[in-house]
Amino acid sequence: TPPTGLTATMSEVGPDFAMINVSINSYGTPSGSANRYIEAAILGSSSYGSPYRYATSTATTSAKIAVTNNNGGSLVIAPNTTYYYGGYASNTVRSASTVAGQFTTLPAVPVISATDQGHGQIAFTVTHGTEGSAETVTEEYSKDGGTTWVTITDGAFTLTLSAQTTVDVRRTSAAGVSSAMITVAPEFTTAAYVSIGNKTATMTKAYGSVNGLSVRGKKIYASVEGKTKLVYEDPA
């Protein structure tokens, strides 16, 4: 007799994997074979079988099973693509299968690169791997730990930063969110210039009066278009 009470429920979805809970009430007869197993699968059609990816759990009546592109089968699980999912059970003589429903994988994970353009300006580029078109995907970035999100246009944006900053990027669809982060530290090459012998020379040291004493200054700021800008930084 075949296994009975077979169910499959979706537990977690990723860009190219799914976690599926599979369980049975009984393995039927024979029920004690050492090779009995339950199986979870991501399916390319509404019937159980190829093309699919599947993974198994042996000699158990319930398990949370991860199905990835590294498991059995030939189906390629792609981001932002709709698939069916289901479960299977075998006592080595008889089997049972079920197709539980459909789901859509998350958007492809963003890949972030950054280029320091000087003066605190960092140019960011966001790319991603090949994905389907099951859902509309939006891209956003945050530089304040996810409090404020700004839409990314054409996969690129530029920020003016004054210190090391972690920038989060997320790609969102109706299926969920895929995210990544990058930490950048701008390098400043600002300099101030003076006239020496009617020639322009880079200022290498600056001094100011602090409590009546001459103190070497580390940074000099000036007002540029109404904003405070760093115009000199001690090379030391």
Q: Above 80 in pLDDT, residue 201?
A: no
CA distance 66 to 40: 8
C-alpha–C-alpha distance, residues 208 and 221, integer Å: 13
pLDDT band for position 94 (50/70/90)?
very high
* Residue 235's pLDDT band (cuts 50, 70, 90): low
| All residues at 6 or more sequence positions from 181 whose CB lies less than 8 Å from its CB, including other chains | 112, 166, 167, 168, 169
Mean pLDDT of 167-193: 90
Tell me, what amino acid is at 24? I
Query: So what's the pLDDT on residue 233?
Result: 76
> Which of the two residues, 188 and 106, has the higher pLDDT score?
106
Note the pLDDT of residue 16: 98
Q: What is residue 171's predicted lDDT score, i.e. its pLDDT? A: 98
- Categorize the per-residue pLDDT at 19 as very low, low, confident or very high, splitting at 50, 70 and 90: very high
> Residue 189: helix, strand or coil by DSSP?
coil
DSSP string, 9-52: EEEEE-SSEEEEEEE-SB--SS---TT-EEEEEEESSSSSSSSE
Confidence of residue 191 (pLDDT cuts 50, 70, 90): low
pLDDT at 120: 87
Burial class (CB in 10 A: 0-12, 13-18, 19+), 114: middle
Give CA–CA dist 222/160, Å, rounded.
17
pLDDT of 230: 78
Q: What is the mean pLDDT of the chain?
A: 93
* The pLDDT value given to residue 189: 62
**198 or 125, which is more confident?**
125
At 66, is the secondary structure helix, strand, or coil?
strand
- Both tokens of 111, joined, read 């890949």
108-120 pLDDT tens trace: 999 999 999 988 8
Asked if the model's pLDDT at residue 190 lies above 70, the reply is no
Mean pLDDT of 128-141: 98
Q: Where in 71-198 does DSSP place strands (E)?
A: 72-73, 82-90, 95-104, 111-118, 121-127, 138-142, 150-151, 156-160, 165-173, 176-184, 193-196
Q: What does the pLDDT read at residue 73? A: 97
